[in-house]
């Protein structure tokens, strides 16, 4: 067996174990009996240990040394060659697995578990000080990780890189500053239009019909239910991979749009996973390019496609067939307004696509200042609230409604938030590129034919896996560098036209 074949077998083994880990997490959030979490923790810990051993297998190091000699310059991100990106990503995983001491991995896992429970309790009791020490430990561990991995002088860059390879703080800062300059006044302008608030129209939508309607929609978008499922969980998510994609949604009889748009959002993630090359899920060619690219795929379907008038011209009659009595008194315009409502909401996950990115910009600036030392953990609540006041004219009435609202930091996931807005920017940029390249795109969507857009995304984004990073992919797909102008244009057209 060649060195490449031996590496390939090891990567397949690691990927199989990692995909099991994903299934354990999915099961935990969908089906796990109430009192069985203790065993799930033991299972996840045992599997994490086994995965780390497999990733740090010294033979992988030897094989990589050999392959890197045979294939010089595997570091070149632009390499069109297949083996280059595979070796590059395998090297990254191997180096990270071997450079992080197992004592660090254990401390981090323990802190994640403790901090999660501390966060949940602090949020419930609106008690930031009880959570602050865990945040401090996570910040310290993130800096320690950066030391181990050779990023000691720029730990926040590493945090961003962990979620979006190829992106750094300076790039995010430049893009977000441009975006914020125009978005802050635009959001205020849209928020001042009274008709943009959500009408209170929806009660008593039977859940079984919500479920069959969203299955009809997500199937027509292209989700392959022969290699996937949709179940329910407290918070919607998409787990698994293209070989077995597990989405979730949640149902509320009085909020049918929530389950529908949650499932459309997760379908966007699922379509990306299902569009990655199935025979390469274990290496860079079948791996997502990062969280930002992933989010662009969920958002383009959720927002640009499925909140559009064109989409609802096709689906409104079907929606009315599914709920004839419930929608009898709802006008078409009311329905469209409800789908595109905008409001001042202190909670990021409940906010609309206009204000959402301001929530993210606040988080990015907060994280950057935490890592630079400009902001102390103890001063977080005051800083947070001041930012919300300035940018969004929102005055959180509690820390539970403010700095305690997100789960991310309890898992040490600093640097994750920027991906959401990078994804929103890319989604809008892809949308206009697709419109330019597919003259019948609007007509197709109006006919419920989503295959042309999906095929375009498959060709421009999905099939490349992690071969290119977000900025490279953006240029290749749209012919332009990543820019917030497309998102701003889209928001103006959608909300001010």
Active site residues: 266
In the complex, what is the shortest distance from the CB of residue 225 to a copy of itself, in angstroms, rounded to a whole number? 7
Could you say which of 2, 5, 31, 254 contacts a copy of itself (CB under 8 A)? 31
Give the integer Cα–Cα distance in Å for 135 and 118: 10
312 CB contacts (<8 Å, ≥6 apart)?
Answer: 332, 335, 336, 339
What are the E-state strand segments in 204-325? 228-232, 238-241, 244-249
> Quick check: 106 binds a copy of itself (CB under 8 A)?
no
Q: Give the residue with the Cβ less far from a copy of itself, 42 or 78.
A: 42
Residue whose token pair is 């998102």: 487
The DSSP bridge pattern shows strands 228-232 and 238-241 to be: unpaired
Q: Which of 4, 6, 19, 148 binds a copy of itself (CB under 8 A)?
A: 19
Quick check: 447 and 314 in contact, CB under 8 A?
Answer: yes
Least distance to a copy of itself, CB of residue 111, Å: 21
DSSP state for residue 303 in the 8-state scheme: I
Report if residue 244 touches a copy of itself, rule: CB under 8 A: yes
Tokens of 325: 């009595």
Point out which span in 67-75, 106-114, 220-228, 453-461 binds a copy of itself (CB under 8 A). 220-228
CA dist 339 and 306 (Å) reads: 9
Least distance between a copy of itself and beta carbon 220 (Å): 18
Distances (CA, A) of 387 to 122, 345, 431: 21, 14, 31
Spatial separation of the C-alpha atoms in residues 473 and 469, rounded to whole Å: 6
Nearest residue (CB) to a copy of itself, 54 versus 403: 54
**Closest approach of a copy of itself to the CB of residue 203, in Å:** 24
382 binds a copy of itself per the rule CB under 8 A? no
What part of residues 59-98 is at the interface with a copy of itself (CB under 8 A)? none
User: Is the Cβ–Cβ distance between 304 and 428 less than 8 Å?
Assistant: yes
Determine the Cα–Cα distance for residues 468 and 289; give it in Å rounded to an integer: 7
- Quick note: the x/- pattern for a copy of itself over 33-52, rule CB under 8 A, is xxxx-xxx-xx-xxx-xx--
Nearer to a copy of itself, 97 or 183 (CB): 97
Q: What share of the chain is helix, strand, coil (3-state, %, to 5)?
A: 70, 5, 30
1 binds a copy of itself (CB under 8 A): no
By CB under 8 A, tell whether 23 contacts a copy of itself. yes
Q: Which is nearer to a copy of itself, 42 or 76 (CB)?
A: 42
Q: How far is the CB of 30 from a copy of itself (least distance, A)?
A: 9
SS3 208: helix
Candidate residues 83, 243, 338, 341; the one interacting with a copy of itself per rule CB under 8 A: 243
SS3 label, residue 352: coil
Q: Based on CB atoms, which residue is closest to a copy of itself, 40 or 320? A: 40
Q: How many residues bind a copy of itself (CB under 8 A)?
A: 35
Tell the smallest beta-carbon distance from residue 240 to a copy of itself (Å). Answer: 9
Q: What angle do CA 125, 113, 42 make, to 5 degrees?
A: 135
Residues 166 and 473: beta-carbon distance below 8 Å: no
Minimum Å distance from CB 197 to a copy of itself? 39
CB nearer to a copy of itself: pick between 244 and 258: 244
Q: What is the largest CA-CA distance in the chain?
A: 70
CA distance 326 to 42: 47
Q: Comparing C-alpha atoms, which of 382, 400, 303 is closest to residue 346? A: 400
Nearer residue to a copy of itself within complex by CB, 17 or 198: 17
Using CB under 8 A, list all residues that contact a copy of itself.
12-13, 16-17, 19-20, 23-24, 27, 31-36, 38-40, 42-43, 45-47, 49-50, 54, 224-229, 241, 243-244
């Amino acid at each position: 067996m060649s060195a490449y074949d031996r590496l390939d077998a090891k990567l397949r083994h690691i990927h199989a174990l990692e995909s099991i880990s994903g299934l354990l997490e999915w099961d935990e959030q969908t089906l796990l009996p109430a009192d069985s979490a203790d065993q799930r923790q033991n299972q996840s810990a045992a599997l994490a240990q086994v995965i780390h051993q497999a990733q740090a297998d010294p033979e992988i190091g030897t094989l990589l040394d050999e392959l890197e000699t045979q294939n010089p310059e595997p570091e070149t991100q632009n390499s069109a060659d297949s083996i280059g990106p595979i070796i590059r990503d395998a090297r990254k995983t191997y180096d990270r697995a071997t450079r992080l001491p197992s004592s660090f991995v254990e401390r981090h896992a323990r802190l994640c578990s403790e901090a999660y429970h501390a966060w949940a309790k602090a949020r419930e009791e609106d008690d930031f000080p009880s959570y602050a020490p865990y945040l401090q430990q996570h910040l310290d561990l993130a800096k320690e990780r950066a030391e181990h991995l050779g990023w000691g002088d720029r730990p926040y860059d590493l945090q961003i890189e962990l979620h979006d390879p190829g992106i750094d703080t300076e790039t995010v800062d430049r893009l977000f500053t441009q975006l914020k300059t125009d978005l802050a006044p635009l959001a205020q302008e849209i928020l001042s239009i009274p008709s943009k608030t959500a009408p209170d129209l929806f009660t008593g939508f039977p859940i079984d019909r919500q479920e069959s309607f969203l299955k009809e929609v997500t199937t027509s978008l292209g989700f392959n239910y022969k290699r996937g499922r949709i179940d329910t969980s407290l918070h919607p998510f998409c787990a698994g991979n293209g070989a077995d994609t597990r989405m979730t949604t949640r149902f509320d009889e009085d909020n049918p749009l929530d389950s529908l748009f949650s499932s459309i959002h997760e379908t966007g993630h699922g379509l990306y996973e299902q569009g990655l090359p199935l025979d390469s899920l274990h290496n860079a060619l079948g791996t997502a390019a990062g969280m930002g690219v992933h989010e662009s795929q969920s958002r383009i379907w959720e927002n640009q496609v499925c909140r559009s008038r064109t989409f609802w011209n096709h689906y409104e009659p079907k929606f009315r067939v599914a709920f004839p009595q419930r929608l009898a008194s709802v006008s078409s315009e009311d329905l469209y307004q409800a789908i595109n409502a905008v409001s001042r909401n202190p909670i990021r996950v409940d906010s609309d696509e206009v204000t959402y990115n301001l929530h993210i910009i606040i988080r990015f600036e907060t994280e950057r200042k935490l890592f630079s030392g400009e902001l102390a953990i103890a001063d977080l609540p005051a800083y947070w609230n001041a930012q919300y006041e300035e940018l969004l004219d929102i005055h959180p009435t509690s820390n539970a409604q403010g700095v305690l609202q997100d789960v991310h930091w309890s898992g040490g996931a600093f640097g994750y938030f920027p991906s959401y807005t990078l994804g929103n920017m890319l989604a809008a940029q892809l949308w206009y590129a697709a419109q330019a390249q597919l003259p019948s795109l609007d007509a197709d969507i109006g006919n419920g034919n989503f295959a042309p857009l999906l095929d375009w995304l498959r060709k421009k984004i999905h099939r490349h896996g992690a071969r290119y990073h977000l900025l490279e992919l953006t240029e290749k797909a749209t012919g332009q560098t990543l820019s917030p102008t497309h998102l701003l244009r889209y928001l103006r057209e959608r909300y001010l036209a």
